[in-house]
Amino acid sequence: AFALPHRANGRVWRVARQIDTSVLVQVTEGDVGSNVVLVFKAKGTGTAKVSFGLTRGETKKAYEARRFVVNVR
């Protein structure tokens, strides 16, 4: 699971790049306190890069970004 902080002015976190679905799949997401929590399930072994962008609506412009590397054994 990834916990990303809420941001003001209608900005929301979105998955920015395609994730290797043979390694990880997104299960759910929700608001928990002052964070947005995105939950993923491991499907197989390998490495997956997960990138998030903070956007306003469905635009391409990212105001902030976070990137994680997940290793599943």
Angstrom distances, CA of residue 36 to CA of 4, 44, 67: 5, 25, 15
The predicted model scores a pTM of 0.90
* Residue linked to tokens 């903070």: 54
pLDDT tens-digit series, residues 19-37: 999 999 999 999 999 999 9
36-61 burial by CB neighbour count: b if 16+ within 10 A, else e?
bebebeeeeeeebebbbbbbeeeeee
What value does the mean pLDDT of the chain take?
96
CA distance 48 to 57: 26
pLDDT tens-digit series, residues 43-62: 999 999 999 999 998 888 99
Check residue 57 and give its pLDDT: 84
Check residue 59 and give its pLDDT: 85
